[in-house]
Amino acid sequence: SLREESGLPTLAHLNLLASAFEAVDGNDSANDVAEFIQEMAYLVDDLSAEQVLRDVNEDRSVSGFPEVKGIEQVEAELSERKRYYRNAIKDALNRLPPASLVDAMTAAVDQITCNGEDHAPELIDDLVDSYAVETQGFLQTEAESVEKLINAARDSAKSGENVVKPIVDKLVVVARNWDKVAQPIQLSAKARGIDHDPSREIAYSIRSLAIDLFNEHDMLDQSKRLTELIQELFAELPEVVERVGEDAEALAEIFHNRKQAEAQKDEWTRDITYRAEVGVMFKDVLSISPDGLAWKNQRFPLEAVTRVRWGAVRHSVNGIPTGSTYTLAFGDNRSEAVVELKKESTYSTFLEKLWKAVVIRLLTELFETLQAGREVRFGELTLRDDGVTLIKHKFIGANEKVTCSWGQVNVWSADGSFYIGSKDNKKTYVGLSYIHAANTHVLEQAIRMAFKKPGMRRLSDVMR
C-alpha cells in the first residue's frame, strides 16, 4: 500500500499519502486514521529543503535543465506543501462522524506524544491548533453549562445531599463531554510544556465546589466524587494534579476515619442493645439501646442519665437459700426507674450493656468535674480531686468531718456497701450502699482505677 512504500524520496512519499487521504470517509476507523496521520507527521518532520534541492537538481541535471541555485524558493514551496498536507488531513477528518473525528485526533496526539510526555511533530501541533479553533464554540458552550451546574449545586447545598446529588450527576456527564473534545488540546499543551487555560479554569471551579460541599455542608461522598473526576479528566495539568492529589489524600483519610467510626458505632450499638420481657403473666419490657433506657412507661435518653445503682439480695428460710432479688435503677435529675428482677441472666446482661452505654460516660464526667476543681457529694462523703472528706463517728457527741488526702485512706467492701476510711482512725469512714446510693459503683471504679496508678495524688491523674 501507499503507506508501506519504501525507497521513495520523502517528498514523493508525502505527495502519495496526501492523495490517499482523499479516499478517507466515514467508514474508516478512528485508529486507522490516527495511524495514517502519525505516519504523515513523521515524514513531514523528515523533510529537508537541502535534500529536496539536491533531488530536484539531480533530476534537472539529467534532463538538461540548469540547477536551482537558491534554497529560499524550495523552502517557500515546502511551506505550501505542508499547508496542503495539513488541509488534506483536515478535509479527511471532516468527512468522519464527529465522535470519530475526536477519537482520531485524540489517538494521534496521545500516541505520538506518549500521553503528552514528548514533543509532537510540527504537523500535529498545526492540526491541534486548527482543531482548537474549530471546537472553541462547542467547548465554550459546554464550559458555560459546567459553570451553571456548579452554581446550581452550590445554591442547592443547603437543601441536602439528595438535592445536590442529581445536579452533580449532570455535572459529571457534561464535564466528561467537555473533556472528551478537549483531550487532544490538553495533551498537546502538556507536550508543549504549557497548561490549557480553559481546562485549568474548569478543573479549579469543580475543585472549589468539592471543597465547599465538604467544608460547608459535610457532603463527603459528593466531594470525593468530584475530586476523583478532576483527577481522571485533568491528568494533563501538573499543577491541578498535585493540588487535587493532596485533596484526594485528605478526603481518603477522612473517608477512612469515618468508615472506621461508623464501624465502631455499629459495633457499639450491637454491644449495648438489649431487650427483655420481665414478669410471669403480665410482661413489662426492659430495654437499652442508642435511643435510651426504658422500663415500663419510663424512658431516658442515654445522655440524660445522671445516676445508676444496682445490687442483689439473697433470700433464705431457716438457712436454706430461696433465691435472690436483683435491683436495677437508673434515672436523670428529676426521676428514677427501679427494676426488680428474679432472673440473674437478665440482670447481668443488662448491667453489661449499662456499663458500656452509661457508666463509662459517668466515670469520665466525674474525672472531668474533679479536674476542673469542683467537689462532688456522695451521701455524707465529699469528693475532691486531691482527697476526700469523711465522717469521724463518736459514741458521745456530734460526729466530725475529717479531710484526708488519698494517701491517708483505704477502701473496702462489706455488707453490701463500699467504704472509704482513714488509715489512722478506724472510726473515720463513710459507707455507701451499692443498691441504694446513686453512683456508688461509679465512685468505687474511679478510686480503684486511681489507686492502681503509681504516684497518684489526684483522681484525675487517671486521665493523663
User: Does residue 110 sit within a domain?
Assistant: yes
Last residue of a domain, one of 161, 193, 225: 193
Other CB atoms within 10 Å distance of the CB of residue 453: 13
Task: Select, from the ranges 25-29, 92-96, 434-438, the one with the highest average predicted confidence (pLDDT).
Answer: 434-438
User: Does residue 130 sit within a domain?
Assistant: yes
Same domain, 57 and 150: yes
Local confidence band at 7 (pLDDT 50, 70, 90 cut-offs): low
Same domain, 331 and 405: no
Same domain, 23 and 92: yes
Q: Mean pLDDT across the stretch 257-272?
A: 86
Local confidence band at 303 (pLDDT 50, 70, 90 cut-offs): very high
Same domain, 116 and 165: yes
Same domain, 278 and 179: no
How far apart, in whole angstroms, are the C-alpha atoms of residue 299 and residue 1? 88
User: Does residue 36 sit within a domain?
Assistant: yes
User: Does residue 219 sit within a domain?
Assistant: no
In the chain, pLDDT over 90 holds for what percent of residues? 63
User: Does residue 31 sit within a domain?
Assistant: yes
pLDDT of residue 1: 46
Same domain, 24 and 169: yes
Residue 212, burial from CB neighbour count under 10 angstroms (0-12, 13-18, 19+): middle
CB 397 within 8 A of CB 384: no
DSSP 282: S
Q: Per-residue pLDDT tens for 21-72? A: 888 888 888 999 999 899 889 988 887 766 766 766 676 667 777 766 667 7
C-alpha cell read off for 43: 515524514
C-alpha cell read off for 255: 473517608
Longest dimension (CA), the chain: 148
Q: Mean pLDDT across the stretch 234-258?
A: 77
- Average pLDDT, rounded, for the chain: 89
Last residue of a domain, one of 356, 384, 409: 356
Q: What are phi and psi of 399, to 5 degrees?
A: -65, 155
Same domain, 377 and 351: no
pLDDT of residue 61: 67
pLDDT of residue 19: 83
Among residues 379, 396, 387, 390, which one has the least CA distance to residue 433? 379
Q: Mean pLDDT across the stretch 255-280?
A: 87
Q: Mean pLDDT across the stretch 193-200?
A: 89
What is the domain count for the chain?
3
CB 366 within 8 A of CB 446: yes
User: Does residue 216 sit within a domain?
Assistant: no
Q: What are phi and psi of 165, to 5 degrees?
A: -55, -50
Last residue of a domain, one of 193, 216, 240: 193
User: Does residue 400 sit within a domain?
Assistant: yes
| Per-residue H/E/C for 363-398 | HHHHHHHHHCCCCEEECCEEEECCEEEEEECCCCCC
pLDDT of residue 55: 67
For 412, the domain range is 373-463
Q: What are phi and psi of 392, to 5 degrees?
A: -90, 115
Q: Per-residue pLDDT tens for 153-178? A: 999 999 999 999 999 999 999 999 99
Same domain, 49 and 169: yes
Same domain, 47 and 176: yes
- C-alpha to C-alpha distances, 65 to 49, 51, 55, 59, nearest whole angstrom: 19, 18, 13, 8
Cα angle: 350, vertex 383, 462; to 5 degrees: 70
Local confidence band at 202 (pLDDT 50, 70, 90 cut-offs): very high
- Bridge partners of residue 289, in order along the sequence: 292
Same domain, 28 and 153: yes
Q: Per-residue pLDDT tens for 343-394? A: 999 999 999 999 999 999 999 999 999 999 999 999 999 999 999 999 999 8
Instruction: Output Rg (C-alpha) for the chain, integer angstroms.
Output: 42
Residue 397, burial from CB neighbour count under 10 angstroms (0-12, 13-18, 19+): exposed
User: Does residue 19 sit within a domain?
Assistant: yes
Q: Is the dihedral angle over the CA atoms 358, 364, 366, 368 positive or is it negative?
A: negative
Specify the amino acid at residue 150: I
Same domain, 435 and 352: no
What is the DSSP code string of 153-208?
HHHHGGG-HHHHHHHHHHHHHHHHHHHHHHHHHHHHHHHTT---HHHHHHHHHHHH
The pLDDT of residue 285 is above 90: yes
Same domain, 173 and 90: yes
